[in-house]
Copies of this chain bind each other. A is one copy, B any other.
Amino acid sequence: MKTAELLEKLHRADQEYHHLGKTLALLQWDEETCLPSGGVEERAEQLALLQGIAHEHFVSPGIGHCLTELGSTPENPRGDEGLPALERDFLRVMRRAYDREVKLPVKFVSDAARAEGLSQAAWARARKNNDFAAFLPHLRAMIDIARQKARYWGYSDAGDGKGSLYDGLLDTYEPGLTARETGALFGPLGERLNALIKKLPPPQACPFLDQDYDTGVQVRFNHALMDYLGFDTGRGRLDVSAHPFTTSLGADDVRITTRYFPRNLLSSVFSVIHESGHAFYEMSFPPELRFSCLADGASMAVHESQSRFWENVVGRSRPFWDGLYPLLASHFPGQLGSVDIDTFYRRVNQVRPSLIRVDADEVSYSLHIILRFELEKQLISGELLPEDLPGRWREYSRRFLNLESETDADGVLQDVHWSMGSFGYFPSYALGNLYGLQFRAQMQKDLPEFDSALAAGNFKPIHEWLRDRIYRWGCRLEPSELLLKVTGERLSAEPFLNYIEAKYTELYG
């Protein structure tokens, strides 16, 4: 076959895999937002069947042959040097996906999809009923599947050095990063954050937030908020799920979710800002990447850099609330009518280590991640047995957060990730904080009007900067390449820590 034919065949296979992936994503989105409780088991069968079909289509020998013919090998994934840059990037991503996928037996892939479907539903029930025991068999299955998957990829049970099972899982989300390197970043990060927390004054009661906020009005406000941020609801939507998430069901169909608590207004609001940050990325890949494996984030940490940037750098800033607060207060005149912006802004940035990760302030947030990183490493290495997880969770909550979790629902069951088998995902959030503040440092150089635009509710320059510098690449660049291209730097915690220390010193004097 000629080069053009080989490429066409690969693109066709990629496009099929893309459409099947989006269909799988709809089955999952629906499970978390709409599926009646009775439908869980049949849904798991649908997931298992379709995941198996997608896998078989993708790993057909023809694909491997095309890659090799185009010069793409594990050692030289980008293929022949004479090919256009876009095609070489495509080959790199295809080669990586193919090499990972081809090592997994179809029965394993299909069984894993079924087990994940069942596990997620079991987790949602267990969380609602505060019943860890009911979730335990599913957690055990998820751990077994994750370990087995890493073994298929060639990672080793022995020790926790480079090449450990956990490294294999981490690599799914942050290509090339090891547990050791992650730990080396997280150690000093945790220490400096803890040192800062000790210096801050104790949190104060906040009577104006400790009231009922009608959830119907919260729904209306959050839709208005999406509109305010520039979320095009002709190309996406907002729904409700047990745990907030973003999923792309198509280039022009990107969906976010949140959840509503009458006595926690800020939970839904910051979830919507966070998930919108993911959605902007997914909605903004350039047309030439449409229906392709390149239409994806550079890594999960880069994805989280976007959501965490919008949630915190934008969403917890003073100019942002200068612009938005009147709209919020007009939705809740009874509760907020007499609360001034200074008071509100301080509360939005109050540092109060809390049990729930997604509701955490910017300073203590990364400590939640470090806690999970330590625990999931132990779960995957086998050092920690699943049945001992709740006890270890409480112990680590005291150690890392100085908090006592009262229930498993607000403790070890609070997050959806392990129930989906997504071990190795959590570090992405804390890494995303680091990426996000490195990007922000560059953005501030390029956009001196940053603060005034925020205050005016004009997000256009920010959207454009992100599109021009980050979104346009999809996953054509490795995360470290992207960072270098945008900022000229390597990954570092300094910009994040500088930002945190400066902001909270100013806030608390």
Contact = CB atoms under 8 A, between A and B. Distances in A.
Contacts of A34: 237
Specify how many copies of this chain sit in the oligomer.
2
B36 A237 contact: yes
Given A23-B27, A42-B22, A36 B251 contact: no
A129 interface: no
A456 to B, nearest CB: 27
A30 B30 contact: yes
B46 A22 contact: yes
Contacts of A61: none
Interface in A32-64: 34-39, 41-43, 45-46, 49-50, 53
A307 to B, nearest CB: 20
A346 interface: no
A235 interface: yes
A26 interface: yes
A481 interface: no
Contacts of A291: 42, 45
Interface residues of A, number: 34
B232 A38 contact: yes
B252 A42 contact: yes
A49 B20 contact: yes
10 contacts: A19-B50, A26-B46, A30-B30, A39-B235, A41-B252, A42-B251, A42-B253, A42-B291, A46-B250, A53-B53
The 8 closest A-B CB pairs, nearest first, are: A39-B253, A38-B252, A42-B250, A38-B235, A19-B49, A39-B250, A37-B234, A38-B234
Given A36-B235, A39-B250, 10 more contacts: A23-B27, A23-B50, A26-B26, A35-B253, A36-B233, A36-B253, A38-B236, A39-B235, A42-B251, A53-B53
